[in-house]
Amino acid sequence: MSVTKAIELEREYQDSQWGTKFDDKNTANDWATYIAHYTSKATVVPFDPQVWRRNMMKAATLAVAAIETFDRNGGLPPRHYDGQDGTPSVSGRDGTQKVKTPQEGA
């Protein structure tokens, strides 16, 4: 089976389990965490090629789901420290980004 067909089948499985409404609530951080979870599971010791392939396939499929969600909604939901437009709520004087604390009115 081709990789693209395997991703398509895994996407169908994921959609049947969680649906697009669940995906639509995921932030950029959520997607990165899900993908990192499966890529890290791929690196078991001792190395197992079947475990590696299975987890990398899940990670690739999650990346596709994230892009589909982004395209479907014209972006992703803001993270708790983002402003309404998705930009960080506060920028430091030096251009670095910092998060407002509850005391600062986050």
* Residue 103, CB-side half-sphere exposure with 13 Å CA sphere: 0
**Global pTM value:** 0.75
pLDDT over 70 (residue 96) = no
- CA of residue 49 relative to chain centroid, distance: 24
Q: How far apart are CA 15 and CA 57, in angstroms?
A: 15
Average pLDDT over the chain, rounded to an integer: 84
User: Residue 81 has what pLDDT?
Assistant: 77
Q: pLDDT tens digit string along 11-38?
A: 999 999 988 999 999 999 999 999 999 9
pLDDT over 60 (residue 88) = no
- Split at pLDDT 50, 70, 90, the class of 78 is confident
Q: pLDDT tens digit string along 43-54?
A: 989 999 999 999
Give me the amino acid identity at 103.
Q
Residue indicated by tokens 């959520």: 30
Residue 31 · residue 15 · CB < 8 Å: no
